[in-house]
Amino acid sequence: AQSVTQPDIHITVSEGASLELRCNYSYGATPYLFWYVQSPGQGLQLLLKYFSGDTLVQGIKGFEAEFKRSQSSFNLRKPSVHWSDAAEYFCALKTSYDKVIFGPGTSLSVIP
Amino acid sequence: EAQVTQNPRYLITVTGKKLTVTCSQNMNHEYMSWYRQDPGLGLRQIYYSMNVEVTDKGDVPEGYKVSRKEKRNFPLILESPSPNQTSLYFCASSGGPNQPQHFGDGTRLSIL
Output the pLDDT for position B28: 95
For residues B95 and A12, give the distance between their C-alpha atoms in angstroms, rounded to a whole number: 36
Output the pLDDT for position B97: 77
Distances (CA, A) of A71 to A3, A61, A77: 14, 26, 16
Mutate to test the interface with A, among B5, B47, B101, B105 (most CBs of A within 10 A): B101
A8 contacts in B (CB within 8 Å)?
none
Mean pLDDT lowest among A19-28, A32-41, A96-105: A96-105
B97 contacts in A (CB within 8 Å)?
32, 94, 96-98
Output the pLDDT for position A97: 67
Checking if the pLDDT of A68 tops 80, the result is yes
| pLDDT tens for each residue of B21-79 | 999 999 999 999 999 999 888 899 999 999 999 999 998 999 999 999 999 999 999 99
| pLDDT tens for each residue of B6-23 | 999 999 999 999 999 999
| Residue A41's pLDDT band (cuts 50, 70, 90) | confident
A7-16, A26-35, A99-108, B35-44, range with greatest mean pLDDT? A7-16
The more confident residue out of B38 and B1 is B38
Instruction: Determine contact, residues A69/A1, Cβ cutoff 8 Å.
Output: no
User: Residue A70 carries which side chain, given as an amino acid letter?
Assistant: S
Checking if the pLDDT of A29 tops 90, the result is no
B49 contacts in A (CB within 8 Å)?
98
Cβ of residue A43 closer than 8 Å to a chain B Cβ: yes
What residue of B is the nearest CA neighbor of A39? B105
Cα B5 from chain centroid (whole Å): 11
Output the pLDDT for position A95: 80
Mean pLDDT of chain A: 93
Phi first, then psi: what are they for B96, rounded to 5°? 175, 175
A4-13, A36-45, B93-102, range with greatest mean pLDDT? A4-13
| Residue A6's pLDDT band (cuts 50, 70, 90) | very high
By C-alpha distance, which of B8, B2, B4, B11 is closest to B25? B4
Averaged pLDDT for residues A13-33: 94
